[in-house]
Structure 1
Amino acid sequence: MPEIPSADWQYEVPVTGSKQLLPDAGYGKALTNQGYDFEVAVADLIDNSIDAEARNVVVHFLRDDNRVVSLLIVDDGRGMDDDGLDAAMTVGRRREYGDGALGLYGTGLKAGSLSNAASLSVISRTRRSRAAGRRLTASGIEDGFRCDTVDPDYAQNLIDRYDGVIQWQGTIIRWDQVRDFDTVAPGQIERFLSEAIGRLERHLGLHLHRFLARDDFNIDIVVEHVDLPDEELEHIGVEPLDPFGYKLPGRPGYPAELTAPVEGVGNVMLHAHVWPAKSKLPGYRDIGPLADRQGFYFYRNDRLVQAGGWNGHRAAEGHLGLARIAVDLPGTTNDVFSLDVKKKGVTATPAYARGIEKAVDAEGRTFRTYLEAAQSAYREGNSRTEIDRKPVIYPGKGLDPKIRRAVRQELPERGSEDPITFSWVALPEDRFFDIDRDDHVVLLNKQYREAFNAGRRGGLNDAPVAKTMLYLLLEDCFALGRWEKRRQDRLDYWNTIMLTAVLSQRERFFDGRETA
């Protein structure tokens, strides 16, 4: 048996030196196959915007008639100079993060972007530096980690293009050759954008809801046509989607504040909530399958990093569908909680499960008592009868996103049909509206548009009351098979009556008959 060189061989391996081994270019292929979902990667980029103290973020889809061309994420944060850009685009380099930062591993910008797009460009400007940019491509990384320098004139022009967001400083991240965009079949771009934006809006609204609830932070999602640069085809302000945003709890005395003694961390606070049964609020219904959304909601520096799940403590079950527990992770590094690199989940050691079993609140209620309360609320709620509402085709572009959310909140969806959209077009003078059943469009006579906007230029989501009323009247016209004379007659007399109302409104605004 060979002689052991150290008396401590049972505990450590002795070394005699070291050398630096640079990553092989093949590592680039692994970097571009991290499996980041589209909305998860975008959220990771917005984390960087928040760390840069941005107040406004715009997620900008750029499209033409046949495809989505590129995605740009624009913020008004601190920005980066040339050295900062080089550091941000260096593969494998991890910067120092402050205690309250959302960034953690330093890989999200590169891995999240190149998992979704073949090309990542970052254009930025600080208050003291000119506009500059860098570009990483999947092929460039495989070719010795090559990073391209963006033409400074282009960088400045792109910054100027977004002067409504970037005043003195800010950053633009651009994705080109996005894999999801390139798979859209001809004629399906509207449906794709509607679904992709819906998923993105829900994900951002949920995981960043604490930030969006503040007065000083906004995220907007915008769609623009390359040939119509001054006209937005879609504009959605992302609203907070609070998974604890009910008005009244499902059980008196809750939420409860339980203290769990967790070995290796200390006391961990469990904010144990019981949702009201059969709630139709977006924070309950709109965040994914209910079975997946019971359990723990972990936050790191106010950013939601896990939305539901029991972390091995127990299996999901229907009777616990109203149980949600908010947990703010300890700010210090520890061996109990570890965060998934994509910020989609938390791994907890058995020490956490043992601590939960010992959790108790000031009134002596235990974690088990809480689970029993949530189960009782579920059983009692399910014993109540509820009227089934008829499924509808959901509204889409042209109707304010808040109204769309209200429809989704109140009514079930009919299949996966294209949404009903609204468009101001030229129509005969004796028609206020018409419908295009094939393309699911409510057509509005644009010569009456000013009457709904007090003489001002209308926007994409203008005339919300009139459009909502028309949606409620006309929705069932888009799902019928054979078109009956009786239904056409109904549309005709609706049109006559509504046109009379529109003309009356126009006279009040433009003939001096409006009274205070």
Structure 2
Amino acid sequence: METPIAYDIAAPEPAGMVASLSSLGYSLPAAVADLVDNSISVEAKNIDVEFTWAGAESWIAVVDDGWGMTAEELVTAMTVAARGPATARTSTDLGRFGVGLKSASFSQARQLTVTTAKDGEWHTRTWDLDVVEGSGQWRLLHGADDDTMDVLARLRGASDHGTIVLWRRLNGYRTDSASLDDEGAQKQFYAEATRTESHLGMVFARFLTGTRRRNLQVRGTLVEPWDPFMSNHPSVQRLPSEELPLNGSFVKVEAFVLPSAQRLTPEEYDQAAGPEGWLDQQGFYVYRRNRMILAGDWLGQRGMRREEKYNLARIAIDIPTETDAEWGVDVRKSSVVPPVSLRSHLNRHARNARATAAEVLKRRGQIAARTHGDPLAYAWLVRRPDDRVVCKINRSHPLVQAALRPGGNSAADVRALLLLLEETIPVTALRVMHETDSSDDPEPFGGPGVADGAAVEVAQRIFESLVSGGRSPASARDRLRTMSPFDQLQGFWSR
């Protein structure tokens, strides 16, 4: 018979646990998304996110018409980590650790109140972090103060079911300095509401379309879904999808290459850029039960960093909920670590998508370069002979010809030409033609070495200009030796 092992009960101290949960790094939009997760899990058809500015008394609430909870279920929902990740869940449950409601709320507010009804009877519980820290106990309060109950009554209306989550004493706004008349703080508050609306449209896009779509609103405005893959656009390239086996389940991977800017309207182009912009939205998009976990990341794949030539590459990954542990889904549902067994496959899909995206932009760059060959339309010509990017001023352009005309050019012509050249630098053509991983940088006059005739002619004109401006010949040559690109070339100035 084995001797029983002695043990101590080492329960976490409430104030320390509150501080830990409050510092998990949630942004406000991500924290609100965690509350919307709960509303979707209980099959709410209508979800309203309310932001109300009232200075230090400002509040945020998420109101849904889902199943609601009994008093016992509410206490369980309000208990920190009442359900572990191994707990059996319904097919609609988007949670994992059982701390989302609490950790998201504690990161944003000192008071969390939840009121809910399943069969017409409303039950209310409150976490007041000042009470928890002051008492040293997890005192889940019944009901709430009068002001909070008034807010809940207005939000509840005549409904007999559903759930309301209310945040009061918001972090950053609960000081006396956050007065009702502080226009700067009010503007920031409602800017966060706009950011939240964009974030929810990205994270829950799959729930906002189709026959079973939810009506999700922020401040009374319907949230528009954002499809990072432009799935319905006729010019999108869909690369072959694949289902990768993982512990008895399958992970679906599908890559998309978006159309170049020339195939999109300005509105489509701006919309496709997404909440974070083109560069930050390229890469993998990870979904779990149709809820986006990660948006725009190369998942640490070796040698894969964000570059503009890969902006059009976006890859969807759908992971089964039962493989959460293998993917390292974190508490905030905002990061993942791919399983080792899948990394080479994901790398293959990423390389294919990146190569295709780069080729689309390269073709557009070649078209742009040919277009720039119109002698009357553009002041610059961009070409790529022998794998080197070459950018030249178009000598057939009328303004260039006027400036070069012997005895006929004027200061006005030269000023107009300089302004044209400054305003029409072919940034787009250079960007899409330039391969950042090859040595194709254009080098003046063919690169370092002995100056050719063209370089000598330009240097001679500069030399004469310096001399006519009052410098001695020796001083003019000294100045030329320090000017780019003549500091890398050998000529009369270097002797």
- TM-score computed with the length of structure 1 as normaliser: 0.62
Partner of residue 212, structure 1: 208
The counterpart of 1:108, out of the listed 100, 104, 107, is 100
- For structure 1, the 5+ residue unaligned runs are 1-5, 7-13, 223-234, 360-366, 387-516
| Corresponding position: 1:62 with 2:52 | yes
User: Paired residue for 1:145, among 138, 142, 153?
Assistant: 138
Question: Matches of 1:275 and 1:348 in 2, distance apart?
Answer: 24
Does the 8 Å contact 2:235/2:258 carry over to 1? yes
Quickly say closer, same or farther: Cα 1:355–1:127, change in 2 above 3 A: same
Of 208, 217, 241, 2:226 maps to 241
Q: Distance in 2 between matches of 1:194 and 1:384?
A: 44
How far apart in 2 are the matches of 1:321 and 1:163?
45
Note the 1:363-374 alignment, pairs <5 A: 368-374=351-357
8 Å contact from structure 2 (residues 289, 320) kept in 1: no
Q: CA RMSD in A?
A: 3.0
Q: In the superposition, relative to structure 1, how do residues 76 and 346 fare at CA in structure 2: closer, same or farther (>3 Å)?
A: same
Question: How do 1:191-340 residues align onto structure 2 when only pairs under 5 Å count?
Answer: 191-215=187-211, 216-222=213-219, 235-245=220-230, 247-248=232-233, 250=235, 254-259=237-242, 261=244, 264=247, 267-278=250-261, 279=264, 280-281=267-268, 283-313=271-301, 314-333=304-323, 336-340=326-330
Give the drift of 1:103: 0.9
Question: In 1, distance between residues paired with 2:200 and 2:271?
Answer: 13
1-side partners of 2:194 and 2:149: how far apart? 32
TM-aligned CA deviation for residue 100 of structure 1: 3.7
Which residue of 184, 195, 199 maps to 1:188?
Answer: 184
User: Secondary structure in 2 aligned to 1:346?
Assistant: coil
Query: Which has the larger displacement, 98-107 or 188-197?
Result: 188-197
TM-score if structure 2 supplies the norm length? Answer: 0.64
Matched residue of 2:206: which SS?
helix
Structure 2 distance, partners of 1:312, 1:151, is 46
Aligned partners of 2:51 and 2:190 also within 8 Å: no
Contact 2:201 2:223 survives alignment (8 Å): yes
Structure 1 residue 38 corresponds to structure 2 residue 28 = yes
In structure 2, what is the Cα distance between the partners aligned to 1:86 and 1:155? 19
Provide closer, same or farther for how the CA distance between residues 28 and 127 of structure 1 changes in structure 2, counting only shifts above 3 A: same
Deviations 1:406-430 (A, max 9, x none): xxxxxxxxxxxxxxxxxxxxxxxxx
Residues 281-309 of structure 1 deviation map (CA, whole Å, 9 limit, x = unaligned): 35422320322211110000000000011
Q: Map Cα deviations across residues 335-356 of structure 1 (whole Å, 9 max, x no partner).
A: 5312121111211133221233
Native 8 Å contact 1:264 1:334 kept in 2: no
In structure 1, the residue matched to 2:83 is 94
Larger Rg: 2
Equivalent position SS for 2:173: helix
Equivalent position amino acid for 2:128 in 1: T
Q: Distance in 2 between matches of 1:151 and 1:357?
A: 52
Checking the alignment, whether the CA contact within 8 Å between 1:123 and 1:173 is kept in structure 2 is: yes
Structure 1 Cα separation of the partners of residues 246 and 67 of structure 2: 39
1:236 & 1:147 partners in 2: Cα distance? 34
Task: Decide whether the 8 Å contact of 1:208 with 1:303 is kept in 2.
Answer: yes
Instruction: Give the distance between the partners of 1:291 and 1:58, measured in 2 at CA.
Output: 31
| Counterpart Cα distance in 2 of 1:150 and 1:263 | 46
- Asked if 1:167 corresponds to 2:159, the answer is yes
Please state how far the C-alpha of 1:159 moved relative to its aligned partner.
5.6
State the Cα deviation string for residues 307-349 of structure 1 (Å, max 9, x = none).
Answer: 0111111222221110000110023236531212111121113
Cα 1:181–1:286 shift into 2, 3 Å: farther
Mapped to 2, the partners of 1:250 and 1:214 lie a distance apart of 22
CA distance in 2, matches of 1:18, 1:249: 65
What is the identity, as a one-letter code, of the residue corresponding to 1:370? A
* Distance (whole Å) between structure 2 residues aligned to residue 152 and residue 80 of structure 1: 21
| Secondary structure of 1:162's aligned partner | helix
Q: 1:168 to 1:340 in 2, by over 3 A?
A: same
Match of 1:80 in 2: 69
**Percent of residue pairs identical:** 29
Give the Cα–Cα distance (whole angstroms) in 1 for the partners of residues 18 and 238 of structure 2: 47
Letter in 2 for 1:286: G
1:219 partner amino acid: L
Query: Is the partner of 2:298 in helix, strand or coil?
Result: coil
What count of residue pairs does the alignment treat as equivalent? 350
Instruction: Find the aligned partners of 1:79 and 1:320 in 2 and give their Cα distance.
Output: 45
Amino acid at match of 2:294: Q
Q: 1:299 touches 1:306 (CA, 8 Å); kept in 2? A: yes
Q: Is the 8 A contact 1:131 1:155 kept in 2?
A: no
Q: In structure 2, how many angstroms separate the alpha carbons of the residues matched to 1:36 and 1:343?
A: 10
